[in-house]
Structure 1
Amino acid sequence: MTQLLYAAWDLGLFQLLSKAPLTLAEICERLALPRHSTDMLLNTCVALGLLKKEDGSYANTPLSENYLVAENTFYLGGLLEHFRRHVFPAWDSFKEAIQQDRPQIVGDAGKSDIFEATRRPDVDTELFIAAMHNLSVSDGLILAEGFDFSPFTRLLDIGGGSGALSLAVAERHPRIQAVVFDRPQVCSIAERYIQAAGLGSRVSTRPGDAFSDALPERADVVVLSLFIHAFGLKRSTPILEKCLCALPPGGCVLIYEPMLYPGRTGPLTTLLSSLNMLLVTPSGGDVTAQDYMQWLEKLGFESVFYKALPSIRHLVGGFKPKA
């Protein structure tokens, strides 16, 4: 099914049918495809829910229209290309990943991880940020609706990538000024997303390394999303210690990550996501909400809370003591 999806997407089928329903003959003519194989492809797409067929004409379903047509907000093209270029080849070495407990991304110097593969300001970095943007647009909207940001005015988005979360929160909460803190080559990409959203006066970037640099000052709420998921609890501990120091009394840290059930045997999507981190990062993976809550309490945060959200990501947060 994966190859079928990629073939239909690469051929421009969903982009073509976004304009208007077309018959088999019209599709073959416009895409320069033979009738026999195209007929099989189209009807299988119908069976998979990617297309609908009425009176001999084919059209996109809401699923393909929303996620596979480039002009639409929730388009997943960057994610699809990132998976094809980096993630699927790593899954070919899944057994080795288990045996070696190390990532299997194929880089210029052999096996590497996704951060090494995207360290330079090149097409791989652009593709990785586009993929993370695709993943974060809808989850940004969910976060903006699911947490009360009204007591806060200055958001710091650590490892914020394209700025998708910051943009969603700023759009929903007019008092928020947001800063995306990420590597310099990522910030230059994020600037384009910010300008395209028309929020350049309220969302900005700050180049830096969260592990080695001081955090930007003045934030009263800090978000880490798909960050601890990528680096793991142990490696992320110094970042949370920096957050505790940098926040004002009463300031809040939000961990917005995929989270496992207490018994660690579900949800399946999160377990697979965690295995994906094994394949592409040195120390990433997912833990339970209880793990995050205990971690924040141990670091010195108070009023620690958990909130389930309608997403693969859920929310754990805590506040810096006021006295």
Structure 2
Amino acid sequence: MLPSNLETAVLGVITTPVLHLADRHHVFAHLTAAGPARAEDIAQALRLDADTLERMLLLLTAHQILHRTPTGHYEVGPDVQPFLDPGDPHYIGGFLTHLVQETAPRTPALGAYLRHGKTAVDGPDARPFASLYRDEQSTRRFLTAMWDLSYAPSRELAALGDLTTSTHLIDVGGATGPFAVAALHHAPALEATVFDLPQVEPYLDETRKAHRLADRLHFTPGDFFTDELPEGDCIAFGYILSDWPDPTCAQLLRKAHRACRPHGHVLVMDRLFDDTRQGPLATSAMNLTMHLETQGRHRTAHEFTALLHDAGFTRCEVRESSGDKHLIVGYSD
């Protein structure tokens, strides 16, 4: 028998697509709404094949994602239910879709990267986000994944970010505004501007309407490589710097220092490697996806604070959350 950690790694290639399919066909939503049910009853309600569905449910039960009662009824485990319930802020369905439809097809490139290096394979003019924004469907899918990954942890990070004394947040590369929305809910006197590519604006408009933030959530189109950042007293980078190599991050943080008003601060929100770089697992996994999908990597807290100091932020603090995404704060004075 394989050791459990090796078994999980080997069989994950089967489990992740099954988890995605069950979510896509509303199995978890049905169980959340209707309660425990047998496979044949779920299949009838959702118009699915009962045999195929039960085999999928048995796999998810073995992974302790579902629980199967002695009477053959399946139910979602309480520890995972928030992440599989489309009505919960912790829902990860969009991220699962991104992993299966965008990340997984790229993994064969690792072989070429391993032999020749990423730059040699992709070429010097690679545009890592071009495929993610290639059409309306891909753009929406990517932005949905980013919201699903970011909104729930953003609510805790906003509370750690010294926002109650700030007046104007600039959310750099803020996409559909998961952090901006969390910040505005946390600090009622705050206004926020998302600075992102022009094609993101219609999707931010949807967020603004859905959260009734028309007078407080704004959008400025631009490219943070070629444009200066809008001015504010809090400049936020939510999972942006891990997309780019150190020289690019240094350039962006220098722009943030120029845009930051006196006595303001910058927020860097990201997954962190521990000092030994032996984990956490999620950071190590996403560090590899950064290699596939972007030009960046994940860093330790010390590496981030070094970049902030070099950009002119004189005092830096690391504030750990209860999750796997944390906050590094740099003060301009």
Structure 2 length-normalised TM: 0.86
Asked if the contact 1:105–1:279 (Cα under 8 Å) also holds between the matched residues in 2, the reply is no
- The aligned residue for residue 223 of structure 1 is 236
1:156 partner amino acid: I
252-261 vs 48-57, greater mean Cα deviation: 48-57
Q: CA RMSD, aligned part only?
A: 2.4
1:186 equivalent to 2:200? Answer: yes
- The aligned residue for residue 327 of structure 2 is 315
1:257/1:60 CA distance change after superposition, 3 Å: same
57-66 vs 206-215, greater mean Cα deviation: 57-66
1:38/1:243 CA distance change after superposition, 3 Å: closer
2:26 partner amino acid: G
Structure 1: distance between partners of 2:132 and 2:48:
36
Instruction: Work out the percentage of aligned pairs sharing the same amino acid.
Output: 27
Per-residue Cα deviation, 1:15-39 (whole angstroms, up to 9, x for no partner): 2223213233322322344444433
How does 1:29-178 map onto structure 2 within 5 Å? 29-54=44-69, 55-63=71-79, 65-102=81-118, 114-178=128-192
1:223/1:104 CA distance change after superposition, 3 Å: farther
Structure 2: distance between partners of 1:37 and 1:50:
17
1:128 partner amino acid: F
Alpha-carbon shift at residue 104 of structure 1 (Å) = 11
Per-residue Cα deviation, 1:168-211 (whole angstroms, up to 9, x for no partner): 01101111111110001112212211211112221111111111
- The aligned residue for residue 3 of structure 1 is 17
How does 1:230-249 map onto structure 2 within 5 Å? 230-249=243-262
155-164 vs 34-43, greater mean Cα deviation: 34-43
Per-residue Cα deviation, 1:134-190 (whole angstroms, up to 9, x for no partner): 110112112112232122111000000110001001101111111110001112212
Asked if the contact 1:103–1:113 (Cα under 8 Å) also holds between the matched residues in 2, the reply is no
- For structure 2, the residue ranges without an aligned partner over 5 or more in a row are 1-14
Paired residue secondary structure (1:18): helix
1:201 equivalent to 2:218? Answer: no
Runs of 4+ in 1 over 6 A off after TM superposition: 103-106
Paired residue secondary structure (1:312): coil
1:26/1:221 CA distance change after superposition, 3 Å: same
Asked if the contact 2:161–2:267 (Cα under 8 Å) also holds between the matched residues in 1, the reply is no
Structure 1: distance between partners of 2:210 and 2:174:
16
- The aligned residue for residue 304 of structure 2 is 292
1:303 equivalent to 2:318? Answer: no
Structure 1: distance between partners of 2:127 and 2:64:
34
1:24/1:105 CA distance change after superposition, 3 Å: farther
Structure 1: distance between partners of 2:127 and 2:80:
31
Alpha-carbon shift at residue 64 of structure 1 (Å) = 5.1
Aligned residue pairs: how many? Answer: 315
Structure 1: distance between partners of 2:17 and 2:155:
30
1:2/1:119 CA distance change after superposition, 3 Å: closer
Asked if the contact 2:161–2:329 (Cα under 8 Å) also holds between the matched residues in 1, the reply is no
How does 1:263-274 map onto structure 2 within 5 Å? 263-274=276-287
Alpha-carbon shift at residue 132 of structure 1 (Å) = 0.6
1:14/1:212 CA distance change after superposition, 3 Å: same
Alpha-carbon shift at residue 50 of structure 1 (Å) = 2.7
